[in-house]
Amino acid sequence: MIITRCLFTTLCTVELWPFKESLLVKLRQSISDPASRGDKTLSDWQRKKKKEKRKERHMREYRKSAVVVEVEEIREEL
């Protein structure tokens, strides 16, 4: 099959021109669909993203509090 042998950059060649739009749409859907990336369900993917965001938020808060403690220690030294 032609599609399996060609790279993404060759989608615009003359022999694939009629199929280009449908191929690009399918490619975009497969990239944006979390279930196609190996995750079992959308909810699993959403849980994983929420967990990552929560971890990032906690790290930001931790860094802020660490900076505040460091500033207080410097003030005490002065």
28 shares a domain with 44: no
1 shares a domain with 28: yes
Could you report the per-residue pLDDT of 25-55, keeping only the tens digit for each? 666 666 555 555 555 566 777 888 889 999 9
50 shares a domain with 67: yes
Residues whose CB falls within 8 Å of the CB of residue 42, separated by 6 or more in sequence, listed in order: 34, 35
75 shares a domain with 44: yes
- Give the range of the structural domain holding residue 58, as residue numbers without chain letter: 40-78
Residue 1 pLDDT > 70: no
State what percent of residues in the chain have pLDDT above 90. Answer: 3
What is the per-residue pLDDT for 63?
75
d(CA 4, CA 77): 68
What pTM, to 2 d.p., does this model score? Answer: 0.33
Instruction: Work out how many domains the chain is built from and give that number.
Output: 2
